[in-house]
Amino acid sequence: MQKKILGTFFLILFLGMAFLLYKLLNQNVEVKVELAKVETSLPQEVKDNSRENVWIKEMAQRDSREFVFPVNELFMQIDLRGPDGTKPKSFKLVIDKADRYSLFCIIQTLSSLHLSYVVIKEDKIPVVYIEEKSLKALEKVVQELEKYDIKSKIIEVWL
């Protein structure tokens, strides 16, 4: 008896689910497709009457094979004689380490003390030459660099 009731229940449940699926799958759905109209705008004409940008137009029209890279080295000859005709004394700043941070600190220190200096890359180590009248004035540079944990000393050189 229970089997018949249970069988009938599953049959009714199965028929109900089939009827529900049939209704869901056979609906008439109207799909209204609206296409957006794409209007292409005319390209804007650039009217440039100034003569300042003429070189830009010329560079844009050149073939890239015509371009020549700038040189890597620059030769400069500087007359180091003072107003009285004598050469001023030059000093070499010898440092214990030559990384980027140390070089930055050295350049900032020399600039803040308003000293004339030249940084030259010899081999892979930069060398700093300073122009000053006396060795005593350069002792302040050594003291300032010690604040940045850069050990240095000054040597007089003849250029």
Q: By the 8 A CB rule, do 141 and 115 touch?
A: yes
So what's the pLDDT on residue 131?
85
Q: Which domain holds residue 98?
A: 90-157
**60 domain residue, yes or no:** no
**110 domain residue, yes or no:** yes
* Mean pLDDT of the region 76-92: 70
pLDDT band per the 50, 70, 90 thresholds, residue 2? confident
**46 domain residue, yes or no:** no
So what's the pLDDT on residue 76?
67
Domain count, the chain: 1
* Mean pLDDT of the region 129-136: 82
So what's the pLDDT on residue 23?
85
Cα 23 to Cα 55: distance, rounded to the nearest angstrom: 74
Cα 55 to Cα 61: distance, rounded to the nearest angstrom: 10
**107 domain residue, yes or no:** yes
SS3 25: helix
CATH of the domain at 103: 3.30.70.100
So what's the pLDDT on residue 53?
65
Query: Residue 81: is its pLDDT beyond 70?
Result: no
So what's the pLDDT on residue 88?
65
Cα 50 to Cα 38: distance, rounded to the nearest angstrom: 35
**21 domain residue, yes or no:** no
Query: Residue 12: is its pLDDT beyond 70?
Result: yes
So what's the pLDDT on residue 15?
94
Q: Note the pLDDT tens digit of each residue in 17-58.
A: 999 888 888 877 777 777 777 766 666 666 655 656 676 777
* Residue 127: burial class (beta carbons within 10 Å; 0-12, 13-18, 19+): middle
Q: By the 8 A CB rule, do 132 and 101 touch?
A: no
What is the pTM for the complete model shown? 0.46
Cα 138 to Cα 130: distance, rounded to the nearest angstrom: 9
**104 domain residue, yes or no:** yes
Q: Is 123 left (phi over 0), alpha (psi -120 to 50) or beta?
A: left
**77 domain residue, yes or no:** no
- Residue 89: which of 132, 129, 118, 119 has the closest Cα? 132
**115 domain residue, yes or no:** yes
Give residue for tokens 């009714």. Answer: 12
